[in-house]
Amino acid sequence: MKTEIKMPKLGESLTEGTVLKWWKKVGDSVKKDETLLEIATDKVDSEIPSPADGILVEILAKENETVAVGQIIAYIETDHSASLLSPEKSLSKKEKTEKLKKAKDEKAFSIHPAVKLSQPVVEKKQEKNRFYSPLVMNIARKESISMSELEKIPGSGAGNRVSKKDILNYLQSKSGKPSAVISSSGKEKGIEFIPMDHVRKQIAMHMRQSLETSAHVYSVSECDMTGVMNLINTHREQFMNQEGFKLTITPFVLYAVARALKDFPMVNSSIEGENIIQKKDINLGIAVAASRGLIVPVIHNAEEKNFTGIARALNEIVIKARENKLTLKDIEGSTFTITNYGIFGNIIGLPIIHQPNVAILGIGAIKKRPVVLEHPGGDSIGIRSMTLISMSYDHRLVDGELGGKFMRQVVEYLENFKEKIL
């Protein structure tokens, strides 16, 4: 009996996955729970185990192919006796491979007949609610393809979905020559074309999607971090001895943000259609520059943690991110995001909102500089450790007043930090 292997749904918001690597090939035996393949989503990579003992008899999704959730990607024959008695067992390995290839080619032809580029594309009936990926939409915009024209392009993906290859073939059939959006895989004088890996493609797609989704507005506040820096310098050695990791400014920022979100819960929300979804839990996403690209692991229920608890959770999640050991739970459910571009010496940045959050806060580098200090008896000039805090927020929900008050509260908590460190 053949068992279907389908693209699994690894998260509520996931609609597709990309096959990174097949650990087994056609004809290999596989045991239940043994790794069958590795897939990548826009959130995390996962090894997929076999659901049963058997023999991998057919692979429908090739490596680097993106497949919709629920689509069949392979078959396992679990009836060992049928496999042993199968006439295919008497064929050579080469004959079985050729036979399987021929059958797959015939199946592909019967489902998606090839369209010759010299022939006009046959118009199809317009399909409502047809999904188009951001990449396909971007190509359509660049090539001035209208929605009505796009709806007529035959799709080879699941549910007649139009892939990059489909739209490029369509453009080539119109012009009789390759489209300008097709990048060369070779080298030209002084230029090298480097294909994006899966992670970089996903980052590019999400950044573009966020800009198209949210009405980005930006604000910047100045913050005196002298008190925080004094606490770090005072407790640095004792903290390292007790906790086993360095005390940095990031947990101070996370703690201040968590408190400010309790004061202004509307910033801890998301938008779905015409509804505002206000979150009760405060789950802080932390932008981390890992070896494979930017990722945003999450500290869940930050409102329930004291300063030391947040520092421990931050250290743990950053280590997992940099060692590529994050699970899906570690990266889902953020309600607000923080990024620290100051670690690279940048004094200010305007980050893109991490969807579906409505705001992201960034911390710049801390610099000592002369500042006017106000006193009842008169002003003076002192050397203070100053930073600039920026916030990008979705103007569909967060107005300037709410955004400004929230940032002011974060600054207030940082400038007057009175929590217990150890």
Asked whether residue 422 is domain-assigned, the answer is no
CA-CA distance, 281 to 401, in Å (whole number)? 23
Strands 359-363 and 336-339: parallel
Q: What percentage of the chain reaches a pLDDT higher than 70?
A: 82
Bond from prior residue into 356 cis (ω within 30 degrees of 0): yes
CATH number, domain containing residue 37: 2.40.50.100
Q: Do 143 and 92 share a structural domain?
A: no
Residue predicted with more confidence, 184 or 301: 301
Q: Do 86 and 14 share a structural domain?
A: yes
- Range scoring the smallest mean pLDDT among 150-154, 174-178, 273-277, 366-370: 174-178
CATH number, domain containing residue 397: 3.30.559.10
Residue predicted with more confidence, 100 or 36: 36
Residue predicted with more confidence, 45 or 270: 270
Which domain does 389 fall in, by range?
Answer: 216-415
Set 33, 105, 281, 399: catalytic member? 399
Q: Do 250 and 158 share a structural domain?
A: no
pLDDT at res. 420:
87
For the chain, the distance separating the N- and C-terminal CA atoms, rounded to the nearest angstrom, is 61
- Domains of the chain: total: 3
Which of 133, 166, 182 terminates a domain? The answer is 182
Q: Do 301 and 153 share a structural domain?
A: no
Q: Do 99 and 123 share a structural domain?
A: no
- Write out pLDDT tens, residues 233-288: 999 999 999 999 999 999 999 999 999 999 999 999 999 999 999 999 999 999 99
- Residue 248: partners with Cβ closer than 8 Å, 6 or more residues away: 232
Which of 182, 206, 231 terminates a domain? The answer is 182
The tokens describing 293, both together, are 């690209």
Q: Is the pLDDT of residue 312 over 90?
A: yes
In the residue annotation, 395 being an active-site residue is answered as yes
pLDDT at res. 45:
72
C-alpha distances in Å from residue 199, one per residue of 45, 63, 293, 294: 10, 15, 7, 8
Average pLDDT rounded to a whole number, residues 284-293: 86
CA-CA distance, 342 to 387, in Å (whole number)? 9
pLDDT at res. 222:
97
Q: Do 287 and 382 share a structural domain?
A: yes
Q: Is the pLDDT of residue 111 over 90?
A: no
- Write out pLDDT tens, residues 54-71: 999 999 988 888 888 889
Q: Do 372 and 262 share a structural domain?
A: yes
pLDDT band at 88 (very low <50, low <70, confident <90, very high): very low
CA-CA distance, 114 to 118, in Å (whole number)? 12
Q: Is the pLDDT of residue 127 over 80?
A: no
Average pLDDT rounded to a whole number, residues 297-312: 96
- Write out pLDDT tens, residues 338-368: 999 999 999 999 999 999 999 999 999 999 9
Q: What is the mean pLDDT of the chain?
A: 83
pLDDT at res. 93:
53
Q: Do 248 and 134 share a structural domain?
A: no
Supply the DSSP string of 145-204, one letter for each residue: --HHHHTTS---SGGGPPPHHHHHHHHHHHHSS--TTPPPSSEETTEE-----HHHHHHH
Supply the DSSP string of 256-272, one letter for each residue: HHHHHHHH-GGGSEEEE
Q: Is the pLDDT of residue 123 over 60?
A: no
Residue predicted with more confidence, 325 or 110: 325
Average pLDDT rounded to a whole number, residues 278-307: 92
Q: Do 360 and 265 share a structural domain?
A: yes
Whether the CB-CB separation of 422 and 241 falls below 8 Å is answered with no
Alpha-helical segments (H) within 273-399: 307-322, 328-331
C-alpha distances in Å from residue 179, one per residue of 28, 171, 174, 186: 40, 6, 10, 16
pLDDT at res. 87:
40
Residue predicted with more confidence, 260 or 37: 260
The tokens describing 367, both together, are 């610099």
pLDDT at res. 382:
95
- Residue 166: partners with Cβ closer than 8 Å, 6 or more residues away: 153, 154, 155, 156, 157
pLDDT at res. 110:
35
pLDDT band at 324 (very low <50, low <70, confident <90, very high): confident
Average pLDDT rounded to a whole number, residues 317-328: 88
Q: Do 376 and 330 share a structural domain?
A: yes
pLDDT at res. 366:
97
Q: Do 372 and 231 share a structural domain?
A: yes
Asked whether residue 56 is domain-assigned, the answer is yes
Buried b (16+ CB within 10 A) or exposed e, 125-162: eeeeeebbbebbbbbbeebebeeeebbbbbbbbbeebb
Q: Residue 306: name the closest of 224, 415, 422, 227 by CA.
A: 422
Set 28, 80, 263, 395: catalytic member? 395
Q: What percentage of the chain reaches a pLDDT higher than 90?
A: 49
DSSP 8-state code for residue 113: P
Q: Do 365 and 247 share a structural domain?
A: yes
Triad 171, 173, 176: Cα angle to 5°: 100
Buried b (16+ CB within 10 A) or exposed e, 349-378: bebbbbbbbbbbbbbbbbeeeeeeeeeeee
